[in-house]
Amino acid sequence: MKIVFSKEYTARTPGHVFRADKFEAALKLLLKEGVVTNNDIAEPLPPTRADLLLAHAPAWVEKNLRFIFTPRDSARAQLEITRGVARAHLMNVGGTILAARLALKDGIGINCGGGSHHAFGGHGEGFCLLNDIAVAVKKLLKERLIKRAMVIDLDAHQGNGTASIFRRDRRVFTFSMHGAEIYPEKKEKSSLDIGLRPGAGDAVYLALLKQELPRALDKFRPEFAVYAAGADVYEGDALGGLKLTMRGIKKRDAFVFSECRRRGVPVALTLGGGYAHKPGNTVKIHANTIKAALACACEEGT
């Protein structure tokens, strides 16, 4: 199994709650533990203009490719858009495209990054500039490699950008479980939104997931899925508020992969948000999610 990663993911965001170095730290942890080796790392290519135009407006694509952002663009994204930040978002799009292709080939594709689900077609929001999930799905559809796709978004925050981009696209089912009372204040309409109260915890969260995800998979019957596995559902997260334990998150991840595997649905993994008061915990959660994906791939291969 290949792990998609680029060192360009690691943009400097000093003092910001979003630590762009968390993806690289998760990979380093996996390397240290011997779970993966350097030979397992696959370097993505940046997306083309044509790729970005599949999900984004021409004016926004030009801003990202030519680095001509305004202060208002940074304010809306709640992130200072430096050249490094812009490049990181571009490379994350390339990473999810590659992970999607690997998923179709191997059953599971892993981007050690990605998950920028707050990016809309014409602007950035919520620390996100480009919607790597939407671009990757649209690309597979355009190339007629798939006919139906599902986005399984289990980040603590609703994937409002993804929901907006796919609102009128019946080929894509957007499934979102998220905090009902946190960002974004104005929610978009996903195919299925499951809003949770603060402090939901493992039992409530997992019961709803086990009830609703299989139903959605069986009803829509996707040929491909992107899993946005946000770490911000964790009980020690500064922004999420759903208060899942590490053990609960492991169960969440294992369930998603197993349900897709049972139905023969290839899955591309993106890691998404994570803002633990102790940054090392976010890194550990991301690493555990990748381990769950690798374990599922091993089971599939036996």
Instruction: Say how many C-beta atoms besides its own lie within 10 A of residue 115's C-beta.
Output: 29
pLDDT above 70 covers what percent of the chain? 99
Instruction: Say how many C-beta atoms besides its own lie within 10 A of residue 71's C-beta.
Output: 9
Mean pLDDT of the chain: 97
pLDDT above 90 covers what percent of the chain? 96
Within 8 A by CB and 6+ apart from 114, the residues are 92, 93, 95, 96, 99, 132, 133, 270, 271, 272
The confidence score (pLDDT) of residue 106 equals 96
Please give the order of strands across the beta sheet that includes 149-153.
Answer: 41-42, 3-4, 108-111, 267-270, 224-228, 149-153, 172-179, 192-196
Beta bridge mates, 176: 153, 193
- Region 13-32: what's the mean pLDDT? 95
Residue 302 predicted with pLDDT over 50 = no
pTM over 0.95? The answer is: yes
d(CA 136, CA 269): 12
Of the candidates 100, 149, 156, the one whose C-alpha atom is nearest the C-alpha of residue 270 is 100
- The DSSP output letter for 225 is E
d(CA 258, CA 50): 34
Instruction: Say how many C-beta atoms besides its own lie within 10 A of residue 299's C-beta.
Output: 12
Spatial contact of 125 and 78, defined as CB atoms under 8 Å apart? yes
d(CA 118, CA 128): 6
Domain ranges of the chain: 3-301
- Between the alpha carbon of residue 4 and those of residues 64, 204, 232, 241, the distances in Å are 22, 33, 21, 29
Residue 28 predicted with pLDDT over 80 = yes
- Of 1 and 58, which is predicted with more confidence? 58
- Region 183-210: what's the mean pLDDT? 98
> What amino acid positions are annotated as catalytic residues?
118
Q: CATH classification of 3-301, choosing from 3.40.50.1820, 3.20.20.140, 1.10.10.10, 3.40.800.20?
A: 3.40.800.20
- Region 97-125: what's the mean pLDDT? 98
The confidence score (pLDDT) of residue 189 equals 98
User: Cα–chain-centroid distance for residue 105?
Assistant: 20
Q: At what angle do helices 246-262 and 201-220 cross, to 10 degrees?
A: 10
The confidence score (pLDDT) of residue 300 equals 63
- Region 126-140: what's the mean pLDDT? 98
Tell how strand 41-42 and strand 224-228 pair up: unpaired
Express each pLDDT in 71-87 by its tens digit: 999 999 999 999 999 99
d(CA 174, CA 155): 13
- Look up tokens 């039992």; give the residue: 203
Residue 118 predicted with pLDDT over 50 = yes
Of the candidates 257, 193, 268, 191, the one whose C-alpha atom is nearest the C-alpha of residue 224 is 268
Residue 299 predicted with pLDDT over 80 = no
Beta bridge mates, 42: 4
Express each pLDDT in 197-226 by its tens digit: 999 999 999 999 999 999 999 999 999 999
- Region 112-129: what's the mean pLDDT? 98
Express each pLDDT in 228-260 by its tens digit: 999 999 999 999 999 999 999 999 999 999 999
Express each pLDDT in 262-275 by its tens digit: 999 999 999 999 99
